[in-house]
């Protein structure tokens, strides 16, 4: 059946549509999962339980630092006093001893160091997870990887530049005569390049294309037409 439609094909676009339809029919027959437009294909990554625990510790430590700093500044409200007593529980430190300010400073510094260590652990995990996901995406879909690496402020979907302004800008650069300073080193380079033999023109034959397609993976990263290399390998004679 496929040969009949391919023989009646009039152009490359129609041939591509026939091959794509055949691939879609085969996928439906074998029960392969197909991406659906408008539906997210990636599962939302859940936050690990250990990371949630560390984030809770960081939040509690920051709140405790705020209470200790407030007490060191002279705030003696009962709620603040109760929190400070809990912070020094089991240390034999009294809130009314002469060096309490130094003890508060040491306790605050200790909490800040713990917060820095916890944050570094989270950043190390995030960096490792990001590298792992990028490596896996590079193996499965390079196009989506490169698209995810694009900066939105550079590759945004905003309005394009005005055509007249663009033409005027480049015309001002390339149409105006400029006297370049040519040093003696340019003559040396020109004399050295005079003996270089020009490369023969490259002619790409259908056999070269067939060989390149033969080495390509079957189901990896199709082009803009969405057609995998598997279908091009089987019907290359028809396409040529």
pLDDT tens, residue by residue, 33-82: 777 655 554 555 578 899 999 999 999 999 999 988 888 888 888 888 88
What tokens appear for 118 in the block? 């916890």
Please count the CA atoms within 13 angstroms of the CA of 120 that sit on its side-chain side. 6
Q: What is the pLDDT of residue 132?
A: 92
Choose the weakest-confidence range: 67-71, 152-156, 219-223, 228-232.
Answer: 152-156
Q: What is the pLDDT of residue 42?
A: 53
CA distance 165 to 102: 66
Q: What percent of the chain has pLDDT over 70?
A: 89
With respect to residue 19, please indicate whether it lies within any of the assigned structural domains: yes
Each residue's pLDDT tens digit, 177-197? 877 777 888 888 888 888 888
Instruction: Verify that 134 and 101 share a domain, yes or no.
Output: yes
Instruction: Verify that 29 and 64 share a domain, yes or no.
Output: no
**Domain final position from 149, 182, 211:** 149
**Domain final position from 134, 149, 164:** 149
161 has a pLDDT exceeding 70? yes
CA distance 144 to 136: 11
Ordered DSSP codes for 101-144: HHHHHHHHHHHHHHHHHHHHHHHHHHHHHHHHHHHHHHHH-HHH
Instruction: Verify that 70 and 8 share a domain, yes or no.
Output: no
How does residue 152 score in pLDDT terms, banded at 50, 70 and 90?
Answer: low
Instruction: Verify that 21 and 78 share a domain, yes or no.
Output: no
Would you state the torsion angle of the CA atoms of residues 58, 60, 66, 67, taken in this order, to the nearest 10 degrees? -150
Containing structural domain, residue 99: 49-149
With respect to residue 213, please indicate whether it lies within any of the assigned structural domains: no
Q: What is the pLDDT of residue 38?
A: 53
How large is the average pLDDT for residues 130-138? 90
Quote the number of domains for the chain: 2
**Domain final position from 117, 149, 181:** 149
């Amino acid at each position: 059946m496929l040969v009949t439609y391919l023989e009646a094909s009039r152009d490359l676009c129609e041939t591509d549509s026939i091959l794509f339809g055949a691939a879609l029919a085969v996928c439906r027959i074998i029960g392969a999962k197909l991406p659906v437009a408008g539906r997210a294909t990636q599962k939302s990554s859940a936050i690990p339980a250990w990371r949630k625990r560390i984030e809770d510790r960081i939040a509690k430590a920051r709140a405790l630092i705020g209470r200790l700093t407030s007490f060191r500044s002279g705030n003696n409200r009962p709620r603040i006093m109760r929190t400070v007593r809990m912070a020094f529980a089991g240390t034999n430190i009294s809130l009314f001893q002469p060096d309490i300010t130094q003890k508060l400073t040491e306790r605050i510094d200790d909490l800040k160091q713990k917060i820095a260590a916890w944050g570094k652990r989270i950043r190390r995990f995030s960096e490792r997870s990001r590298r792992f996901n990028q490596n896996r995406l590079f193996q499965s879909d390079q196009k989506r990887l490169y698209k995810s690496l694009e900066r939105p402020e550079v590759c945004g979907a905003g309005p394009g530049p005005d055509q007249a302004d663009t033409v005027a800008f480049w015309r001002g650069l390339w149409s105006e005569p400029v006297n370049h300073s040519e040093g003696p080193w340019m003559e040396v380079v020109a004399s050295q390049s005079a003996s270089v033999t020009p490369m023969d023109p490259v002619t790409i034959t259908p056999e070269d294309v067939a060989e390149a397609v033969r080495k390509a993976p079957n189901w990896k990263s199709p082009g803009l037409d969405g057609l995998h290399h598997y279908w091009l390998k089987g019907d290359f004679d028809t396409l040529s």
